[in-house]
Amino acid sequence: VRFSGQRVWGIGNADIISTVEFNHTGELLATGDKGGRVVIFQREPEGKTEPFSQGEYNVYSTFQSHEPEFDYLKSLEIEEKINKIRWLPQQNAAHFLLSTNDKTIKLWKVSERDKRPEGYNLKDEEGRIKDISTVTSLQVPVLMPMDLMVEVSPRRVFANAHTYHVNSISVNSDCETYLSADDLRINLWHLGITDRSFNIVDIKPANMEDLTEVITAAEFHPFHCNLFVYSSSKGTLRLCDMREQALCDKHSKLFEEPEDPSARSFFSEIISSVSDVKFSHSGRYLLTRDYLTAKVWDLNMENKPLETYQVHDYLRSKLCSLYENDCIFDKFECAWNGSDSVIMTGAYNNFFRMFDRNTKRDVTLEASRESSKPRAVLKPRRVCAAGSKRRKDDISVDSLDFSKKILHTAWHPAENIIAIAATNNLYIFQDKLNSEMH
């Protein structure tokens, strides 16, 4: 794979990146962090700069999306960390995005201004109201060029609908509604209505002692506005059709892989929990990520995944220590490339994995400051499992740094450009030499 470093953006130590998302054209890239800030990067136009820096992403706008709050009724602090960002399809010159923390979802408008009105009749140049008696003639105000200014303004605040922590938001293909999911419920919102939402999934038992699973992620189908999928901590996927009934507690399809009784262990349920689910761009497949594997499911085949990819199987012998240091509960995300032929997901030691679905080849790459120098080609890395023969440049599984983890990744919707969040650094890599993985 000839991915080369394009740019690395370092952010403050406390400001760990918590979500990464390209917009629908790939021209904008948004990141959210634990400090409640959203940073938007814009791709520079081709040919504007020297050839080797064509298409670089530079900071476009930064704004504070959420502030820390306190729930006085429950005596709970609500942290400002951005859990998810989702862009709305662009309808006009402005861009709109949704951002959410644990409880509150906000709709933001991002627009540009490069002209300002001048020549008012009743105001002077500094905006002060003139004495009307001094106005002796009328003039037509004109728009004068000014330095480009990016304005970000909150348009809607969707609050007070979630008792538990919001883990997903997904914009519907009808461009009018979106869903938000927490541990036990999924709500359907209209983008223009903030004071009420419609509950479409509720798995909360009458007695919380009977609780056996929670919702981990949810997403709308890319073009069928009535379909959505949600994943659970038991490793199952449920496809729901909103045409069947208002409350989608009864799913249309249940995707579940039967467990091998001989492989059952204390950790089986923990590592089978699905941390992310993504529809393919074609709408035919689902990509899921659990702790050790990434799986591709065909919507027409519920009894087993179409493809299973081992992300870091060498950790199977380390599950006990990973449980003790809580790493086993890390939630890794996954991503499709634009043609649905390659999938990507993160791992430890700042490694991320890519799997080519056609050739069945896979590669491990590293996001580090050395590899992110401009035009530096990423070198494949290999982890040597405990007890196996080690080759030159192999990394021993015992020397992996579990504090360096790539949980959040995003792939440009059309090109081979990827964004990797490694703790508090954002890496952007671009395949400049090849249009396809090889």
Condensed to tens digits (0 to 9), the pLDDT of residues 162-193 reads: 999 999 999 999 999 999 999 999 999 999 99
Maximum Cα–Cα distance across the chain:
94
Q: How far apart are CA 231 and CA 237, in angstroms?
A: 4
Residue 1 has pLDDT above 50, yes or no: no
Average pLDDT value for residue range 105-113: 94
User: Has residue 48 got a pLDDT over 80?
Assistant: no
pLDDT of residue 422 exceeding 70? yes
Cα–Cα distance for residue pair 8/425, rounded to 1 Å:
7
- Grade residue 8 by pLDDT with cuts at 50, 70 and 90: low
- Calpha distance 276→287 (Å, rounded): 8
Predicted pLDDT of residue 6: 60
**Does the pLDDT value for residue 386 go beyond 80?**
no
Q: Three-class SS of residue 51?
A: helix
How do 215-220 and 227-232 pair as beta strands? antiparallel
The helix (H) or strand (E) run that includes residue 428 is strand 425-430
What's the confidence (pLDDT) of residue 404?
93
Residue 265 confidence (pLDDT) above 70: yes
**Residue 121: how many CB atoms within 10 A of its CB?**
12
Confidence (pLDDT) at 130: 82
Confidence band of 436 (pLDDT split at 50, 70, 90)? very low
Choose between 182 and 54: higher pLDDT. Answer: 182
Check pLDDT > 60 for residue 365: yes
Q: How confident is the model at residue 5 (pLDDT cuts 50, 70, 90)?
A: low
pLDDT greater than 90 at residue 289: yes
Query: Averaged over 336-341, what is the pLDDT?
Result: 96
Across 1-20, b (16+ Cβ under 10 Å) vs e yields bebbbbbbbebeeebbbbbb
Contact 294, 309 (CB under 8 A): yes
Q: Helix %, strand %, coil % for the chain, to 5?
A: 10, 40, 50
Give the length of the chain.
438
Q: Is the pLDDT score of 40 beyond 60?
A: yes
The Cα–Cα gap between 397 and 394 comes to 9
pTM as predicted? 0.88
Strand stretches in 206-275, DSSP E: 215-220, 227-232, 237-241, 253-255
Q: What is the pLDDT of residue 215?
A: 97
Q: How confident is the model at residue 133 (pLDDT cuts 50, 70, 90)?
A: confident
- Give dist(CA 396, CA 281) in Å, integer: 37
Amino acid 262: pLDDT: 76
Structure tokens at 347: 């791992």
Q: Which residues partner with 417 through β-bridges?
A: 430
Confidence of residue 435 (pLDDT cuts 50, 70, 90): very low
**pLDDT (0 to 100) of residue 110:** 95
Residue 437 has what pLDDT? 39
- pLDDT, mean of residues 285-295: 97
In this prediction, residue 10 carries a pLDDT of: 59
pLDDT confidence of residue 44: 87
CB 270 within 8 A of CB 328: yes
User: What value does the mean pLDDT take over residues 113-126?
Assistant: 80
Average pLDDT, the chain: 89
Return d(Cα 290, Cα 70) in angstroms, integer. Answer: 32
Residue bearing the bigger pLDDT, 396 or 82: 82
d(CA 327, CA 307): 25
Instruction: Determine the pLDDT at residue 20.
Output: 97
Q: What pLDDT was estimated at residue 98?
A: 97
Residue 42: which residues within 8 A CB-CB, separation 6 or more? 27, 28, 29, 57, 58, 59, 60
Selection from 240, 336, 223, 221 nearest residue 287 by Cα: 336
Residues 382-406, mean pLDDT to the nearest whole number: 83
Residue 438: pLDDT over 60: no
Q: Is the pLDDT of residue 284 over 90?
A: yes
Amino acid letter at 51?
P
